[in-house]
């Protein structure tokens, strides 16, 4: 608070205050404007930019000044008719001007706002050509208009925070296409090869009359239980081998059997998924083509609950249109399947394991460009050789006491992504795979055995699809 006790004292310090005011007015941060008070009331509310000054002139002399909140604005008297007001912090306060004998001359409402003049100048330098409107509201900054990209919107907000921290209102919008369609191609190949070769030798009977019994065997004929049918040519038991040969003969009172088993299997599996997913810039989208597998979970007290775990082709992504047709993609893709070979059984529950291949990355590309974000290659090899000790090391004949297994599995997964900027279209021009299919009448079904009618739509998108030639390789059409 600044007081002017009497006019004689004020005249003695007037020269010093005048010099201080002129020095402040000369500084760039305190450039003064004038507001005149006439007829005991100001012409308008006093707008004071932060770190700048305004001079209030009164048509009658005043004797005392007071400010309601000195933290918002600072005041000093230049003459008995001029008041210097300096904005310190954003906010509103009241300046009271009193005349002689404590008579109220006027109350001036003071609004201290962020210095948007400098902000506008810096905004024009950093983002030239962007139609951004800047206004003040209460003690903050309001930005409005349409900018060309998300990145420029973020730059404008970051700059505004420098002038009004935590007091920036964003009413801006982004022009152009802001919807992204992500085309993803999952391609996986699995190849397996397994081979096995084993020989079994068994003998059963009596030697030296009835004094010595004999029953020996290796591998499948270890119990010599199949020798009774060796001479008839039947195998001792069921086998999964693709080729099995049993030789049997008698040597006196001894039955001898030789079983040769060979297995070779090859398999190829191809998996392909092409999901297309559309999302607004900055919003998350997810995709799952597969299912959910129930997994029992033990709770406190022995209770069992069921939790469902998703499996199949999964995709989660967040697109951001950076500028023009430049798109930033934050995505996570996974391919999973059930694996019963590695499951477990407990408390009467059998739970399968999961085979899962996944990738998570962030890439940046333009509309229509593609990236191969994952090439997951797996090559498993297993080789097993078993033999009867010492006997398997005998040259040539040792093969009858050995078995060998070979197994190899190769898996390769490739994920290719392609983003596109898209806009909505009219529903009439879109067609579904079922648009060309019509239910048959009872006559067509029972009399002619047709499962679909010959009639086809003639109008709209469905009619356009119906008139196309589907002689080539097209999906959804069964011949």
Mean pLDDT of all residues in 161-170: 85
Residue 184 near residue 423 (C-beta atoms within 8 A): no
- In angstroms, the CA 439 to CA 339 distance is 40
Residue 423 near residue 387 (C-beta atoms within 8 A): no
- In angstroms, the CA 360 to CA 326 distance is 20
Task: Tell me what pLDDT residue 419 has.
Answer: 92
Residue 358 near residue 331 (C-beta atoms within 8 A): no
pTM: 0.54
Residue 141 near residue 90 (C-beta atoms within 8 A): no
- In angstroms, the CA 79 to CA 390 distance is 121
Mean pLDDT of all residues in 88-103: 85
Strand ranges in 99-219 using DSSP code E only, listed in sequence order: 104-113, 132-137, 140-147, 168-174, 179-207, 212-217
Task: Tally the residues of the chain.
Answer: 479
Task: Tell me what pLDDT residue 454 has.
Answer: 61
Q: Which of 271-280, 335-344, 373-382 has the lowest mean pLDDT?
A: 373-382
Task: Tell me what pLDDT residue 219 has.
Answer: 67
Task: Tell me what pLDDT residue 36 has.
Answer: 65
Task: Tell me what pLDDT residue 461 has.
Answer: 54
Residue 91 near residue 112 (C-beta atoms within 8 A): yes
pLDDT band at 64 (very low <50, low <70, confident <90, very high): confident
By DSSP bridging, strand 32-38 and strand 53-58 are parallel
Element (H, E) at 22: helix 7-26
Task: Tell me what pLDDT residue 290 has.
Answer: 84
- In angstroms, the CA 380 to CA 192 distance is 9
> Domains, the chain, ranges and CATH?
43-113 (2.60.40.1080), 116-174 (3.30.1340.30), 427-468 (no CATH)
Q: What is the pLDDT of residues 99-115, one digit of tens each?
A: 888 788 888 888 888 77
Q: Which of 220-224, 276-280, 382-386 has the lowest mean pLDDT?
A: 220-224
pLDDT band at 29 (very low <50, low <70, confident <90, very high): very low
Q: Which of 47-51, 312-316, 437-441 has the lowest mean pLDDT?
A: 437-441
Residue 83 near residue 60 (C-beta atoms within 8 A): no
Q: What is the pLDDT of residues 316-373, one digit of tens each?
A: 999 988 877 888 899 898 888 888 878 888 777 788 888 888 888 999 989 889 888 8
Does the structure show a pLDDT above 80 at 476? no
Q: What is the pLDDT of residues 237-254, one digit of tens each?
A: 545 555 777 777 777 777
Q: What is the pLDDT of residues 126-159, one digit of tens each?
A: 888 888 888 887 778 899 888 877 778 888 889 8
Q: Identify which of 297, 233, 240, 283 has the alpha carbon closest to the alpha carbon of residue 259.
A: 233
Q: DSSP state, 443?
A: I
- In angstroms, the CA 42 to CA 48 distance is 14
- In angstroms, the CA 353 to CA 130 distance is 56
Does the structure show a pLDDT above 80 at 14? no
> Is 398 in a helix, a strand, or coil?
helix
Task: Tell me what pLDDT residue 34 has.
Answer: 59
Does the structure show a pLDDT above 50 at 288? yes
Q: Which of 11-20, 403-412, 468-477 has the lowest mean pLDDT?
A: 11-20
- Mean pLDDT in the chain? 76
- In angstroms, the CA 8 to CA 282 distance is 68
> Is 325 in a helix, a strand, or coil?
coil
CA Rg value for the chain: 45
Q: Which of 168-177, 440-449, 457-466 has the lowest mean pLDDT?
A: 457-466
Does the structure show a pLDDT above 60 at 11? no
What percentage of residues in the chain have a pLDDT greater than 70?
74
What percentage of residues in the chain have a pLDDT greater than 90?
2
Higher pLDDT: 350 or 208? It is 350
Does the structure show a pLDDT above 50 at 78? yes
- In angstroms, the CA 164 to CA 166 distance is 6
Residue 141 near residue 169 (C-beta atoms within 8 A): yes
Neighbours of 441 (CB within 10 A): 13
Task: Tell me what pLDDT residue 23 has.
Answer: 38
């Amino acid at each position: 608070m600044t007081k002017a006790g009497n006019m004689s004292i004020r005249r003695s310090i007037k020269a010093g205050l005048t010099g201080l005011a002129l020095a402040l007015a000369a500084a760039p941060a305190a450039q003064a404007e004038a507001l005149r008070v006439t007829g005991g009331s100001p012409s308008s509310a006093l707008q004071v930019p932060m770190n700048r000054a305004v001079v209030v002139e009164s048509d009658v002399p005043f004797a005392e000044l007071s400010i309601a909140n000195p933290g918002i604005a600072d005041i000093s008297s230049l003459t008995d008719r001029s008041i210097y007001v300096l904005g310190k912090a954003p906010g509103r306060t009241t300046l009271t001007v009193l005349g002689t004998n404590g008579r109220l001359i006027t109350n001036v409402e003071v609004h201290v706002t962020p210095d948007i003049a400098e902000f506008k100048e810096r905004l024009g330098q950093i983002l030239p050509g962007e139609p951004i409107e800047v206004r003040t509201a209460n003690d903050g900054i309001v930005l409005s208009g349409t900018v060309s990209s998300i990145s420029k919107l973020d730059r404008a907000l970051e700059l505004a925070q420098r002038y009004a921290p935590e007091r920036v209102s964003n009413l801006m919008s982004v022009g152009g296409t802001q919807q992204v369609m992500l085309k993803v191609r999952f391609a996986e190949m699995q190849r397996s090869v397994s081979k096995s070769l084993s020989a079994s030798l068994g003998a059963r009977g009596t030697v030296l009359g009835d004094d010595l019994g004999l029953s020996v065997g290796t591998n499948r004929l270890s119990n010599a239980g199949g020798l009774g049918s060796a001479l008839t040519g039947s195998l001792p038991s069921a086998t999964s081998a693709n080729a099995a040969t049993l030789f049997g003969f008698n040597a006196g009172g001894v039955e001898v059997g030789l079983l040769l088993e060979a297995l070779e299997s090859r398999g190829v599996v191809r998996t392909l998924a092409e999901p297309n997913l559309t999302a607004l810039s900055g919003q998350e989208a997810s995709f799952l083509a597969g299912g959910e597998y129930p997994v029992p979970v033990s709770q406190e007290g022995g209770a069992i609950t069921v939790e469902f775990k998703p499996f199949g082709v999964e995709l989660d992504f967040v697109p951001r249109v950076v500028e023009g047709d430049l798109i930033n993609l934050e995505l996570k893709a996974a391919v999973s399947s059930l694996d019963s070979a590695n499951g477990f059984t407990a408390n009467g529950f059998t739970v399968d394991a999961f085979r899962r291949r996944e990738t998570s990355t962030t890439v940046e590309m333009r509309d229509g460009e593609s990236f191969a974000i994952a090439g997951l290659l797996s090559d498993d090899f297993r080789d097993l050789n078993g033999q009867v000790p010492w006997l398997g090391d005998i040259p040539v004949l040792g093969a009858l006491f050995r078995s060998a297994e070979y197994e190899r599995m190769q898996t390769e997964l490739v994920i290719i992504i392609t983003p596109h900027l898209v806009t909505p279209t009219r529903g009439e021009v879109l067609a579904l795979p079922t648009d060309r299919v019509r239910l048959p009448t009872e006559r067509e079904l029972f009399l002619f055995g047709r499962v679909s009618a010959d009639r086809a739509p003639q109008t709209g998108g469905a009619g356009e699809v119906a008139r196309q030639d589907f002689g080539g390789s097209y999906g959804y059409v069964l011949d």
